[in-house]
Amino acid sequence: MREEELVGLAVKVLVHRFGAAWGYDLAVTAKNASVQDYLDALNRVFAGPALTRTRRPEAQSCRGCDRCCAERAPLTVIDAFVLSQATGCRSLSDFLDRYAYVAVTGPVVDITLRRLTDGYCVFLDRQKRTCRVYNARPFVCQTF
């Protein structure tokens, strides 16, 4: 995506060449920019030509790359809410019981996505190596 196509957005992602690799830089252009503006900007760029991946250079796109699915995936409250809707759960509590781990240590509450015995995320389609809730995937997965 060319920079001029990004005019008027709260967050711009500027694609740069760093030696032999392609990467990006962020420019926040509005005082009221939100985390969602950041995610929207990243996802627009990731939908275009492939950037150089430092964690799995052989992967040309997110599709079929399951690298992030083996990592610990902490959830924000918004992530949990969005995923509870995407999975058709009756309530947030139902979602947490079925798909998350919740650990409470004093005043700290840690919510992470459940992983199966193979160590991969509960939402990974093992055959296709893709996320079954891709459009609702958590913040940490979108920014991996």
Q: Is residue 51 part of a domain?
A: no
Nearest-angstrom CA–CA distance, 45 and 136: 17
Identify whether 12 is part of a domain.
yes
Model confidence at 44, pLDDT cuts 50, 70, 90, reads confident
83, 124: one domain: yes
Please count the structural domains in the chain: 2
Q: Does residue 127 sit in the same domain as residue 82?
A: yes
Express each pLDDT in 81-112 by its tens digit: 999 999 999 999 999 999 999 999 999 999 99
Q: What is the pTM of this model?
A: 0.66
With respect to residue 135, please indicate whether it lies within any of the assigned structural domains. yes
Give me the mean pLDDT over the 25-44 stretch. Answer: 82
